[in-house]
Homo-oligomer: A and B are copies of this chain.
Amino acid sequence: MALNRIVVLIGGVGGAKLGLGLARILPAESLTFIVNTGDDMTYYGLRICPDIDTLLYTLSGRVDPINGWGVAGDTRQMLETLRSYGEMPWFGLGDKDIATHLLRTSMLNQGKRLTEVIAYLAQGMGVAPRVLPMADEPVPTMIETLEEGTLAFQEYFVKHRWQPTVKMIRHGNAEHATLSPEVAQAIAEADAIIIAPSNPWLSIAPILAVPSMREALLARDVPRVAVTPIVKGMAIKGPTAKIMTELGLEVTAESVAAYYGPLLTGFISDAQDIFLDLKGLRSAAFDTMMPDEARKIALARELLEWLEGQ
């Protein structure tokens, strides 16, 4: 089948690798990202959307190639000045990065929807595929931890370097969020839905917590395929494996597939993993490691060809 409209549910650094690969080979009008905003926070009055910014910086070529987030060649003059005033900032804010946050914050304060603001930022950065926040309303991910009580996501992730033990993950304000017209339309028109190899619990679950999101996805009789973030019992990066253990799950690709459940019609595992039992899902195994742009494009191409063959 022809793939004219691909929708990708996606988080930050890990997912953005596949996002870049897809953006390199698909026409821009064929590609829509629905991005986790559960990580968002307001810091010194700035509205920060880490996953959206990571994707925009990655797709625009601005991203810091070492970290995979933030802007290449960024400086920390603002942050160092705050420190000189006696403040103790714990979240990294590069001077170039601040331009994104300032523009976003001032547009939101003027009453623009986040979806409109991100479209404006994407255009400003020359990003052609559509980048949609999962919702216009804030749905802050709250992490209930054993040692530190309930933490806002960035407190857990950055301030505490994802060391506290996760007991439960909640999606604050989710009941007041709505499917934006843009997200609803993108899903309604999709020929295939891809879940990027992002953290299912931290990056994809918030997207699925938006009311009607899951139903809108399930209503589409098109391939709905996840790419595994787990390879041979390990996460490529970040706390996925640690969290799975803390939630009492086996750290396997099967656990990820089981977590997504009926949402999936297919699953892409890593070629290094063998003897996976993916319970009736259409599946394929590719090299899902994407250390460089060539491998990002290669995985995107294999995935798209496999989808077209269905």
**Interface, chain A (partner B; CB < 8 A):** 44-46, 71, 74-75, 77-82, 84-87, 94-96, 98-100, 102-103, 105-106, 109, 121, 123-125
The answer to whether A78 touches B81 (Cβ under 8 A) is no
Contact residue among B46, B85, B123 (Cβ-Cβ distance under 8 Å from A124): B85
Query: Can you show 25 pairs from A to B with CB atoms below 8 A apart?
Result: A44-B103, A44-B105, A44-B106, A45-B102, A45-B105, A45-B106, A45-B109, A75-B75, A75-B95, A77-B77, A77-B96, A78-B96, A78-B102, A80-B96, A81-B95, A81-B99, A82-B102, A82-B103, A84-B124, A84-B125, A85-B99, A85-B100, A85-B103, A86-B124, A95-B95
What separation, in Å, do the CA atoms of A106 and B82 have in the docked complex?
A: 13
> Which residues of the other chain, B, contact A84 by a CB distance below 8 angstroms?
124-125
Residue of B nearest to A105 (CB): B45
The answer to whether B77 touches A74 (Cβ under 8 A) is yes
What separation, in Å, do the CA atoms of A106 and B87 have in the docked complex?
A: 13
> Which residues of the other chain, B, contact A45 by a CB distance below 8 angstroms?
45, 102, 105-106, 109
> Which residues of the other chain, B, contact A100 by a CB distance below 8 angstroms?
81, 85
What separation, in Å, do the CA atoms of A99 and B124 have in the docked complex?
A: 24
The answer to whether A85 touches B46 (Cβ under 8 A) is no
Rounded to whole Å, the gap between the CB of A253 and the closest CB of chain B is 39
The answer to whether B102 touches A44 (Cβ under 8 A) is yes
> Which residues of the other chain, B, contact A98 by a CB distance below 8 angstroms?
78, 81, 95, 98
The answer to whether B106 touches A78 (Cβ under 8 A) is no
The answer to whether B75 touches A87 (Cβ under 8 A) is no
What separation, in Å, do the CA atoms of A44 and B107 have in the docked complex?
A: 8
What separation, in Å, do the CA atoms of A105 and B74 have in the docked complex?
A: 23
Rounded to whole Å, the gap between the CB of A52 and the closest CB of chain B is 14
Rounded to whole Å, the gap between the CB of A133 and the closest CB of chain B is 18
What separation, in Å, do the CA atoms of A283 and B192 have in the docked complex?
A: 84
Contact residue among B44, B77, B85, B105 (Cβ-Cβ distance under 8 Å from A75): B77
What separation, in Å, do the CA atoms of A95 and B99 have in the docked complex?
A: 10
What separation, in Å, do the CA atoms of A248 and B74 have in the docked complex?
A: 51
The answer to whether B95 touches A82 (Cβ under 8 A) is no
What separation, in Å, do the CA atoms of A93 and B120 have in the docked complex?
A: 22
Contacts A45-B109, A81-B98, A85-B125 aside, 9 further interface pairs with beta carbons under 8 A come to: A46-B102, A74-B77, A77-B77, A78-B99, A78-B102, A85-B124, A86-B123, A87-B103, A87-B124
What separation, in Å, do the CA atoms of A75 and B74 have in the docked complex?
A: 11
> Which residues of the other chain, B, contact A86 by a CB distance below 8 angstroms?
123-124
What separation, in Å, do the CA atoms of A295 and B220 have in the docked complex?
A: 78
Rounded to whole Å, the gap between the CB of A204 and the closest CB of chain B is 29
- Across the A-B interface, give the 9 residue pairs with the lowest CB-CB distance, nearest first: A85-B124, A81-B99, A77-B95, A45-B106, A95-B95, A81-B96, A82-B99, A44-B106, A44-B102
What separation, in Å, do the CA atoms of A122 and B109 have in the docked complex?
A: 28
